[in-house]
Each structure stands twice: as structure tokens, then as C-alpha cells.
């Protein structure tokens, strides 16, 4: 099997096209649900904002759940919206409340027994989880680099003090060793993070 790498722009276009296809499919099979039709119509206006997730983060601004089942009927609402974690059961009210957040992503958690839907959504969820994992690695690498810079500054400052004040050398030696140990530990962590990022 050969894997062909796509550019970020092409990958983004492909994802949006897949999201649009999924939303269109949901609209067609839920033709008898005014609630779903209203929500799908809103999402279709800008499908790039939709992010299919298993679970959204606590700080998610806009989110919703959909229950699309063709073979079984589940108790509970077909749709439930959230704005900054606050439940909004009515789609029109949700759309109005979401207006100030026009550029915010919309996390969509889908419950379904439709085989096509499950197979179509799964790669998008995995892609989003992979992107989130990479972002976490990159954020941690940035933090470690900043800590490493501070440790290096401390090390250089200690070396300078020890050169001009030889009487304090024995006292500062342990701090110098501590700074060296910290730099080695952070250097090793950076290497592990980079290896994981390359594999992600």
C-alpha cells in the first residue's frame, strides 16, 4: 500500500468536502425531522466549522449532539445544543446564541446506527484527534524549550558568579550541578517529544 501525502490546503479541502457530504446525507435521511433539517441547514452554510468528535473539551464554545438512528428508536432528544457548556434544547435559540461566535468551531458528537455514517465519520474523528495530539506535543515542546532557556541562563549566570567570586564556588557548585541535571533531563524530553511528533 502506498501513502500519498497531501498538502495542508488540499487536506483541508478534502475534509470540508467530506463534512459537506456527511451533512447532506444526514439531511436526506432525517427529512422528517424539522429540528435536524434546521440544524443541518445552518451547518451547511459553513461546513468548515464543523468538527466531528467523540467528546469535546470542557472549554468548547459551540457544541451539539445528534441522534440519527434508522433501525432503532432511542429515548431522548434527536438534537441537543450547547453554548459555552450551557445546554440549549431549541435549535433556533442555539443559532441566535451562537451568533457572536461566528468564527468558532462547532463540535458535533454523532450517535447513529447507520453504517455509512459511522464509516464516513470515523476517519474525520481520527484525523481531528491526531491533529489535537500533535498540537499538544508542539505546545509541550515550546514549554520545555522555554524552561531549557531559563535553565541555561541560570547556568551561565552561576558560572559567571563563580568566576568572579571564587569564595562562593563551593556554595554554588550544587546549584550548577542541579542546573546541568535539569538541562539534560529537558534535552532528553525534547528528543522524545520530537520523535513522537515525527511519528504522529
Tallying the residues shown for the chain, one arrives at 200
Q: Is the pLDDT of residue 117 over 60?
A: yes
Q: What's the Cα-to-Cα distance from 174 to each of 9, 20, 160, 168, rounded to whole Å?
A: 52, 61, 15, 11
Helices (H), 45-168: 91-98, 115-164
- Give the model's pLDDT for residue 5: 40
pTM higher than the cut 0.95: no
- Give the model's pLDDT for residue 200: 60
Place of cell 542546573: 179
- Give the model's pLDDT for residue 2: 31
Mean pLDDT computed over 160-181 = 85
Q: Is the pLDDT of residue 146 over 70?
A: yes
200 or 84, which is more confident: 84
Confidence of residue 11 (pLDDT cuts 50, 70, 90): low
Q: Bin 85: left if φ > 0, else alpha if -120 < ψ < 50, else beta.
A: left
Mean pLDDT computed over 93-108 = 95
Amino acid at each position: 500500500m502506498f501513502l500519498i501525502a497531501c498538502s495542508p490546503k488540499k487536506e483541508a479541502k478534502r475534509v470540508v468536502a467530506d463534512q459537506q457530504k456527511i451533512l447532506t446525507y444526514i439531511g436526506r435521511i432525517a427529512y422528517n425531522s424539522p429540528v435536524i433539517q434546521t440544524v443541518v441547514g445552518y451547518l451547511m452554510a459553513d461546513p468548515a466549522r464543523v468538527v466531528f468528535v467523540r467528546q469535546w473539551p470542557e472549554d468548547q464554545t459551540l457544541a451539539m449532539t445528534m441522534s440519527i438512528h434508522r433501525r432503532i428508536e432511542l429515548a431522548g432528544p434527536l438534537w441537543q445544543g450547547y453554548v459555552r457548556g450551557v445546554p440549549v434544547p431549541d435549535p433556533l435559540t442555539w443559532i441566535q446564541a451562537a451568533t457572536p461566535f461566528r468564527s468558532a468551531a462547532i463540535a458535533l458528537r454523532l450517535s447513529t446506527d447507520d453504517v455509512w455514517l459511522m464509516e464516513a465519520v470515523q476517519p474525520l474523528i481520527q484525523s481531528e484527534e491526531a491533529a489535537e495530539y500533535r498540537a499538544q506535543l508542539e505546545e509541550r515542546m515550546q514549554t520545555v524549550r522555554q524552561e531549557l532557556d531559563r535553565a541555561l541562563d541560570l547556568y551561565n549566570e552561576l558560572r559567571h558568579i563563580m568566576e568572579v567570586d571564587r569564595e562562593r564556588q563551593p556554595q554554588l557548585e550544587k546549584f550548577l550541578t542541579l542546573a546541568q541535571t535539569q538541562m539534560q533531563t529537558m534535552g532528553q524530553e525534547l528528543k522524545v517529544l520530537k520523535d513522537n511528533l515525527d511519528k504522529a
